[in-house]
Amino acid sequence: MPLFLLTQSRRKNGSLVLKSLATCLIMLLSAASPGFAAAPKKGWSATGGASFYYTDDVALFSATRRSSLDGDPSQPVLDVSRTGIGKDMVFEPYVRLSKLIPSSFGETELSARVRGFVYGANPEFSQAGIYLEAIHGFTPRTVLRLRYFTAPDQLLGQTTFHESEENLQDMRVTSHLGTVRLDHRLSEHWEIQLLGRAGIRNFNDPFVQRDTLLWRVGPHLVYHMNHHARVILGYHYERGLAEGRHEAELHDDASYVHHFASIGVEMDLMEHLELELDFHYERNNFTAGNPEDERFNGHENIFLGSGRLSYQLTDHTALTFMVQRSNRKQNFHQTHDHNTNVSVGAVYRF
């Protein structure tokens, strides 16, 4: 494809994502207008916010941002040797609209949230994530959470096709994930959370052999030290089965076993200042059975740390500051890949 057509195509894809994101945000903001949100009898509430990020790796930014116990830590990325696209500024807006529905069986909260990543110098990477969630409290101690998440037509970057360095192709993926989590307060200080997740990832035509069916299970243990601090421990096991395992001749089986371990601390430093610290370790063991596949006996180690400060400016407004740092290494490329993200932002509750 000529370079000018390729550039034009990238801009078109980025423009479509931006239009879709803008439409979703406008719809939720319209619903969250003051007249709408101020109807307490209906139980409506809304939260909106935005952050500005500096990132030193465009291709890894969204994967780093979504790596958390409640996020999508196994989001695909390009192979390490094909990242390093460069630095950028990223605008991350989000809107969440929720409604509380009381009943004789407990309280149920229904919510919809839209979050976008809008890239300044690389608009073709712009993308949106949509979350639909239902939270039902059976008792003050027991809560059930159901969530659906989708990230449509996400550009991962350009990579080679059929091992031809001259045949670069855009790699795109659409994810659909369903999650169920049961939270139960065991005592004044201890809480347990049990999570299950299943979903699919669909890749664009040149890479359909990477289409993946996945499932995940794992426990979280929360220690409430007092009303102002808590510690969260979590472990997830995930199995991903790619279509490439049935097509050995392509040498592109992306099936894997994913281990995710996390420890986090949330605390009030003072009356209006909160601190969150997280450290994650991820291990991907690739299960390709063909010795000619580059992932044969391959594995990947990921270390990620983050810190977030939140200052409550008013009853409705908070200011945020965040730093994230991730290190990735795959044994079949023998290279290290780093990603650093720094942000400032604001949150407003209507």
Q: Which two tokens stand for residue 304?
A: 């990620």
Convert the pLDDT of each residue in 91-113 to its tens digit. 999 999 999 999 888 899 999 99
pLDDT tens-place string over residues 302-311: 999 999 999 9
Q: Which two tokens stand for residue 347?
A: 């949150």
| CATH 2.40.160.40 assigned to 3-32+45-349 | yes
Question: What average pLDDT is seen over the chain?
Answer: 88
pLDDT more than 90, % of the chain: 73
Residue 149 has pLDDT above 70, yes or no: yes
In contact, 35 and 195? CB cutoff 8 Å: no
Distance CA 106, CA 127 (A): 36
The answer on pLDDT for 128 being more than 60 is yes
pLDDT score at 221: 99
Yes or no: say if 174 and 153 are a contact pair by the CB < 8 Å rule. Answer: yes
pLDDT per residue over 193-235, tens digit each?
A: 999 999 999 999 989 999 999 999 999 999 999 999 999 999 9
Distance CA 39, CA 135 (A): 21
Asked whether 211 and 200 are in contact (CB, 8 A), the reply is yes
Determine the Cα–Cα distance for residues 265 and 224; give it in Å rounded to an integer. Answer: 10
pLDDT at 168 over 60: yes
Question: Out of 18-27, 77-86, 90-99, which region has the weakest mean confidence (pLDDT)?
Answer: 18-27
Predicted local distance difference test score (pLDDT) of residue 241 = 98
Model pLDDT, residue 198: 99
What pLDDT, on the 0 to 100 scale, is given for residue 160? 76
DSSP string, 255-309: -EEEEEEEEEEEEEEETTEEEEEEEEEEEEEE----TTSTTTT-EEEEEEEEEEE
Q: pLDDT band at 9, cuts 50/70/90?
A: very low
Residue written as tokens 């919510």? Answer: 111
Burial class (CB in 10 A: 0-12, 13-18, 19+), 160: middle
CA atoms within 13 A on the CB side of 338: 3
pLDDT of residue 5: 40
pLDDT number for residue 23: 52
Give the per-residue pLDDT at 15: 52
Q: Decide which of 41 and 252 is more confident.
A: 252
- Domain map (residue ranges) of the chain: 3-32+45-349
CB 329 within 8 A of CB 335: yes
Q: At 161, is the pLDDT very low, low, confident or very high (cuts 50, 70, 90)?
A: low
Give yes or no for residue 84 having a pLDDT over 80: no
pLDDT, tens only, 235-260: 999 999 999 998 888 889 999 999 99
pLDDT at 163: 56
Alpha carbons 131 and 143: distance in angstroms, whole number: 18
